[in-house]
């Protein structure tokens, strides 16, 4: 049995009909096809094929115009199911519903994300927070109202979520998490493993460091966001299936304690952060690891200004970093290739190419091809120099033998230079990482001054 997807739109333009599949994608249909879809669907596969043909059947299936299960349009999660029917699959949505998510902190970010997870279809959640609702929370903490003031955040949030979806399974833990090893581990163990932790607290002051290290150690996937003064902070993200290298660059506010002060925020700031973090959570829960944005970086952003993200060591070298890499590549190549008669011209040529490679951020197979190209050029130059030095050939066979020898020499130079350039680039990258790390730590130290003064718990 096949059904017309209720979340594709049939539109009429002048005398023609189209099906709006997604942004920028319109599928033209005849009036006969339009009448069949509206009047005779749902139907059996054979009926559709007999009426419109096997090619249209395949096209409509590929474009999700017809689907193999009926989606009710009047249920709480109907639009969710429609999205997955159009984009992913119903199996993915059912898999998502079976996930268990822990919300760490039920303040501005936590309440928004708890609602996002519940509305997304997550059936089981663990809410962790020790605070009570205050009047000053109501400008940004979703679902709470003035009748909740003075009551436990986790209990009131649970109440409001169940009012939206009574089928949710929500556990509450009223506890302040300072040392995750001591405070959070027993909670996770008591409820079994969790599929994802949403870190929505920004205390203690060194929360980025201690929670990142904890979740790495425990191999627990997590997403994170917070505010720093008037700034928004996105990331970091962790998952065991990803290569994670951001921990060494995170600010380390050891020995710092917040004595007094409250955080500042706006309602749209919390919505902006929660939307970004919830999207990151969805990517992890669906296994879309190649789409994760904050695995190797954290990002500060001002809602009124565009700020560049603070990147980790894995970013491409820029500015003087490119020159350093190029110089070290060329120097090592010169030292190892001096027995081939590498000249000053060869050195400058290799230096120029390395600078270009660095500026263009050439990586992987493309970088190797460029190395082979540069080695070929250097080998060809050496071959040309040899021809000039030895003069013209006196016989055809002498020329063939000489060219054969020169060809072997050229291939040797290509292979040897490629290996040398890759080794030298690797060595230079290690040197550059240390240089960039020192700069990141200096920049992070400056940011700590702001963080220590302005950072306070979202709740």
pLDDT reading at 247 higher than 70: no
Please say whether the beta carbons of 123 and 98 come within 8 A. yes
pLDDT at 390 over 50: yes
The answer, yes or no, to whether residue 309 has pLDDT greater than 70, is no
CATH number for the region 98-311 comes to 3.40.50.720
Q: Kindly tell me if the per-residue pLDDT of 322 is higher than 50.
A: no
Look at 3-17, 282-296, 347-361, 445-459 and tell me which has the smallest mean pLDDT: 445-459
Average pLDDT value for the chain = 76
Confidence (pLDDT) at 339 = 47
**Structure confidence at residue 216 as a pLDDT band (50, 70, 90):** confident
- Yes or no: say if 386 and 413 are a contact pair by the CB < 8 Å rule: no
What contacts 54, CB < 8 A, 6 or more positions away?
none
Between the ranges 95-109, 345-359, 382-396, where is the mean pLDDT highest?
Answer: 95-109
Judging by DSSP bridges, how do beta strands 124-128 and 100-104 pair with one another?
parallel
What per-residue confidence (pLDDT) applies to 306?
65
Our measurement of the distance from residue 328's CA atom to the centroid of its chain's CA atoms, rounded to an integer in Å, reads 32
**What DSSP state is assigned to residue 316?**
P
Residue 22, pLDDT > 80, answer no
DSSP 409-456: HHHHHHHHHHHHHHHHHHHHHHHHHHHHHHHHHHHHHHHHHHHHHH--
Distance, CA of 250 to CA of 281 (rounded, Å): 21
- Domain ranges in the chain are 3-76, 98-311, 320-447
Predicted confidence at residue 146, as pLDDT, reads 95
Distance CA(340)–CA(292), nearest Å, equals 47
With bands split at pLDDT 50, 70 and 90, how would you rate the model's confidence at 183?
A: very high
**Do residues 137 and 459 touch, judged by C-beta distance below 8 A?**
yes
Cα–Cα distance, 252 to 350 (Å, whole number): 40
The mean pLDDT of 151-177, rounded to a whole number, is 95
- Between CA 256 and CA 272 the distance in angstroms is 29
Locate 179 and state its tokens: 């040392």
Q: Mind listing the pLDDT tens digit for each residue in 76-119?
A: 888 888 888 877 677 888 899 999 999 999 999 999 999 999 99
Q: State the alpha helices, DSSP H only, in 66-107.
A: 78-87, 90-97
47-75 confidence digits (pLDDT tens): 999 999 999 999 999 888 888 888 888 88
Report pLDDT for 404: 58
pLDDT at 359: 52
**pLDDT surpassing 50 at residue 448:** yes
Q: What is the pLDDT of residue 372?
A: 57
What is the average per-residue pLDDT within 358-369?
51
Residue 315 has pLDDT above 90, yes or no: no
The sign of the dihedral angle between the CA atoms of 260, 266, 271, 277 is: negative
Q: What is the mean pLDDT of residues 17-44?
A: 87
DSSP per-residue letters across 215-255: HHHHT--EEEEEEETTEEEE---B-TTS----GGGS---TT
**Cα–Cα distance, 134 to 149 (Å, whole number):** 5
């Amino acid at each position: 049995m096949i059904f017309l997807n209720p979340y594709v739109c049939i539109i009429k333009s002048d005398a023609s009909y189209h099906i709006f599949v997604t942004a920028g994608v319109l599928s033209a249909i005849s009036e006969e096809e339009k009448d069949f879809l509206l009047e005779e669907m749902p139907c059996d596969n054979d009926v559709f094929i007999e009426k419109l043909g096997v090619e249209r059947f395949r096209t409509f299936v590929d474009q999700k115009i017809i689907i193999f299960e009926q989606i009710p349009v009047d249920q709480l999660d109907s639009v969710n199911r429609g999205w997955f029917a159009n984009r992913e699959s119903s199996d993915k949505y059912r898999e998502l519903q079976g996930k268990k998510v822990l919300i760490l902190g039920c303040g501005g970010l936590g309440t928004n994300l708890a609602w996002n997870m519940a509305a997304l279809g997550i059936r089981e959640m663990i809410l962790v927070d020790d605070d009570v609702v205050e009047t000053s929370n109501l400008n940004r903490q979703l679902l709470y109202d003035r009748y909740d003031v003075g009551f436990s955040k986790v209990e009131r949030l649970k109440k409001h979520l169940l009012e939206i979806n009574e089928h949710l399974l929500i556990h509450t833990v009223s506890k302040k998490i300072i040392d995750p090893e001591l405070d959070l581990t027993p909670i996770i163990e008591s409820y079994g493993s969790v599929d994802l932790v949403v870190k929505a607290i920004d205390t203690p002051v060194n929360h980025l460091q201690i929670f990142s290290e904890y979740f790495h150690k425990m191999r627990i996937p997590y997403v994170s966001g917070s505010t720093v003064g008037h700034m928004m902070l996105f990331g970091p993200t962790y998952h065991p299936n990803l290569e994670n290298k951001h921990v060494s660059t995170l600010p380390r506010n050891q020995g710092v304690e917040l004595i007094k002060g409250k955080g500042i925020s706006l309602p749209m700031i919390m919505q902006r952060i929660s939307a970004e973090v919830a999207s990151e959570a969805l990517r992890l829960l669906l296994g879309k690891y190649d789409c994760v944005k904050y695995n190797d970086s954290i990002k500060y952003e001002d809602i009124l200004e565009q700020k560049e993200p603070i990147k980790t060591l894995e970013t491409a070298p820029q500015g003087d970093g490119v020159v350093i890499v190029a110089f070290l590549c060329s120097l090592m190549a010169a030292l190892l290739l001096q027995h081939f008669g590498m000249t000053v011209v060869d050195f400058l040529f290799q230096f120029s190419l390395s600078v270009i490679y660095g500026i263009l951020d050439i990586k992987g197979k493309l970088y190797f091809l460029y190395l082979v190209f540069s080695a070929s050029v250097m080998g060809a130059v050496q071959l040309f120099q040899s021809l000039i030095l030895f003069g013209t050939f006196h016989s055809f066979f002498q020329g063939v033998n000489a060219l054969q020898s020169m060809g072997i020499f050229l291939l040797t130079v290509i292979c040897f230079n490629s290996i040398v350039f890759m080794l030298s680039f690797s060595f230079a990258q290690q040197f550059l990482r240390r240089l960039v790390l020192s700069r990141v730590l200096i920049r992070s130290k400056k940011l700590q001054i702001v963080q220590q003064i302005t950072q306070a718990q979202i709740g």
